Amino acid sequence: MKTPRIDIFKEALKTGVVTKKYPFEPVEAPEGFRGKPSIDFEKCIGCEACVNICPPNALSVEIDTKRGIKRVMLFLGRCIFCGRCQDVCPTEAIKLSREFELSSLNSKDLYQIVELKMAKCKICGRYYATVRQILFTAKNVPKDQRPLLLLCDECRSKVSAKHISYARW
């Protein structure tokens, strides 16, 4: 009986060397690869949809109430590359790229921070939403309702409640 050893040896010889000389030779990820997410600072409206959905809390938000600035922060050290943020983003501002080399000597390289200007409420003067978010919402709101967008949540409900009671009379 022929021993299988020779066949295995032949097969190994035929295969040859398959190891790639990475990192000296580039390796590319396929299309649709879920790599490093990146935020398009021009498109982000600061709606916090991604912050709410993110399973590992890699995305967080900070509001500077004195200066009226909203900071959306992405920390790649916590990111699990699930791509849920990409799914929910209304403006396609956050997208997963095919990049996967994330090692760095400086942990600050792993942060992406978007700073957005906020608008003040016309009545109470409180910062309540980013300017971009208001402009984005305005596209889907009928013209006569748009002034209401300039008010914060609380004032808006008060004003609309007034409108309703007038309408009844």
Partner 1 sequence: MLTSITEILNLLKKYGKVEKIHKDTYVVEISPGKVRELCEILHWKLNGHFSVTVGSDERPVNGYFGVYHVFLLDKQKLSVIVHVKVNPVTLKIPSITPIIPGANWHEREAHDFFGIFFEEHPNLERLILPYDWPEGIHPLRKDVNVRELRYKLLKKETGLVVEKKAEEEYIVPIGPYHPALHEPEYFELYVEGEKIVDARYKGFHVHRGIEKVAEERLTINQVPFIAERICGICGYTHNVAYCQAVENAARIDVPLRAKYIRSILLEIERVHSHLLWFGVLFHLLGFDTGFMMTWLVREKIMDLAEILTGNRKNYGMNLVGGVRRDINEEKIKLSLETLDYVEYKLRKILDKMLKLKEITSRTKEIGLLSREEARKLSVVGPVARASGISTDVRRYHPYAAYSELEFKVPVYDAGDVYSRALVRYDEIFESISMLKQLLKNIPKGDLTAENVKVPEYRKGLGLTEAPRGENVHLVITGRENKVYRWRPRAPSYNNVPSTLVMLKGEKLADAPAIIASIDPCFSCTDHVVVIDVRTNVKQVLRLKEIARGK
Binding site for partner 1 (CB under 8 A): 4-5, 7-9, 11-12, 15, 18, 29-34, 53, 55-56, 80-84, 87, 96
Q: Which is nearer to partner 1, 4 or 26 (CB)?
A: 4
Nearest to 59 by CA among 41, 46, 72: 72
CB 15 → partner 1: shortest distance, Å? 7
Distances (CA, A) of 66 to 63, 128, 144: 9, 12, 31
CB 120 → partner 1: shortest distance, Å? 32
CA distance linking residue 105 with residue 49, whole number of Å: 31
Q: Which is nearer to partner 1, 10 or 162 (CB)?
A: 10
CB 20 → partner 1: shortest distance, Å? 11
Tell me the one-letter amino acid at 43: K
DSSP 30: P
Q: Which is nearer to partner 1, 31 or 144 (CB)?
A: 31
Q: Which residue has the tokens 């097969």?
A: 11
